[in-house]
Amino acid sequence: MKKLTLHPDRLFPAESRTRDIARSLYATVKDLPIISPHGHTDPSWFAYDAPFADPAWLLIVPDHYVFRMLYSQGVKLEELGVPTEDGTPTAHDGRAIWRIFARHYHLLRGTPSRMWLDWVFAEGFGIDVRLDPSTADHYYDLIDAALKTPAFRPRALFERFGIEVIATTESPLDPLDHHRAIRASGWSGRVVTAYRPDPVMDPEAAGFPDNLARFGETAGEDIATFAGYLRAHRFHRARFREAGATSTDHGHPSAFTADLPRAEAEALYDKVRSGKASAADAELFRGQMLTEMARMSIEDGMVMQLHPGAFRSHNPSVLARFGRDKGADIPTPSEFVRNLKPLLDAYGNDPRLTLILFTLDEDTYSRELAPLAGHYPALRLGPPWWFHDSPEGMRRFRERVTETAGFYNTVGFNDDTRAFLSIPARHDVARRMDCGFLAQLVIDHRMEEDEAQEVARALAYDLVKAAYKL
């Protein structure tokens, strides 16, 4: 069996003097509490604190970061237990799924997923041998036994990981029962929600007409008019704030915004509601609603997040059989300077608004995003996201945005994950990479070490807590 070790200097610079500074900086931030302001963990885990399922159903079946790589090498999603849309059976034997995963674990070499999983195995479960076919059953038995103990229940892990607060993400159609159950339980862990209105703001979303009807009914509003539709948003936003929400989240295809005269906005809404909207109408409506959401954020103080630039469900065969979020979302080019202008003309100078921008198009970092965030009081830059939450992606982000936006127009780190056990690993990677970047500035005599310590703390903890009002 080959040894599994996590080198204490992993991700630090190779040059010895710079590495020493990175080590010193990291020592000041490595044990800071984790603020996880945006993600997709299941609130029911924390509401009911039930044991997690077996290793495969915890670490493989729901993780599209993992199974998309295996799928790309010819492993069928059915073999990995990924549920189908029509309910037809797929593999359900966790040990068999785990053995397939172990045979293909080498495919993850060099990827963030490999780094996160090795942390989970070594630090989370205390495993000291590498995963391969010969150790597959050893891994499965150790992890399966651990998951049956109280120390590996969701709330115990939350506390062990040092999580101060975590935000889940729900649509306005969600009754938020799990969040109510968390609050009623008396548990001290802080779990909040975030308002994700895409199903009722995107005319191209599946089931949009039915979504609209439920949206209005649960708000007690007549959504036949645009005014009633906006009142329904205000109702649901208030409901989410009662459940701890401090942010909204928008996963639009682009960063396009609009600020139409009210009569034109009402006419557009009538077309959208009737089901007669074209693709151009749908984009215009999404853009108008981003500006409406900014207006509401100024009213109620909720922070906006915009996650544009993904071609969702690019593989129609996978979509038809397995549904959304199955590893076939692909980045697309994004444009921000012109697309955001209507919203920024209206509210970009208003410090009461915080709009956090994410991108999957790294080419926009230095050309568009850093100059925009380095000027408009309302804008902040979110960290590298999704395909770029990797050491290389984090380094490119800091190199390209710091010269124009600085550190304080960014919002630290968020993990944006469904994979609960990987959260501390992801934050550790971000802290190590930021300390390495700061160490280089110190060694170049561009920053004093005491300043670097202040920035390291800000990036690990202070900025995210302030930006998300947590």
- Indicate the pLDDT class of residue 459, thresholds 50, 70 and 90: very high
- Cα distance between residue 244 and residue 254, in whole Å: 28
Per-position DSSP letters for 357-385, written without gaps between them? E--S-TTHIIIIIHHHHTT-TTEEEPPP-
Intrachain domains 16-50+153-467 and 53-151 with the same fold: no
Mean local confidence (pLDDT), 409-417: 96
pLDDT confidence of residue 45: 97
Closest CA to 132 of 3, 302, 314, 41: 3
Question: CATH class for domain 53-151?
Answer: mainly alpha
Q: Which tokens in the block code for residue 291? A: 């500006």
pLDDT confidence of residue 360: 97
- Cα distance between residue 442 and residue 10, in whole Å: 19
114-170 pLDDT, tens digit each: 999 999 999 999 999 999 999 999 999 999 999 999 999 999 999 999 999 999 999
Question: CATH class for domain 16-50+153-467?
Answer: alpha beta
Amino acid present at 390: S
Helical (H) or strand (E) element with 411: none
33-73 pLDDT, tens digit each: 999 999 999 999 999 999 999 999 999 999 999 999 999 99
Domain boundaries, the chain: 16-50+153-467, 53-151
Task: Specify the 3-state DSSP secondary structure of 35.
Answer: strand
Q: Which tokens in the block code for residue 273? A: 């509601």
Closest CA to 277 of 196, 205, 197: 205
Q: What percent of the chain has pLDDT over 90?
A: 99
- Cα distance between residue 277 and residue 255, in whole Å: 19
Amino acid present at 78: E
97-116 pLDDT, tens digit each: 999 999 999 999 999 999 99
Amino acid present at 211: N
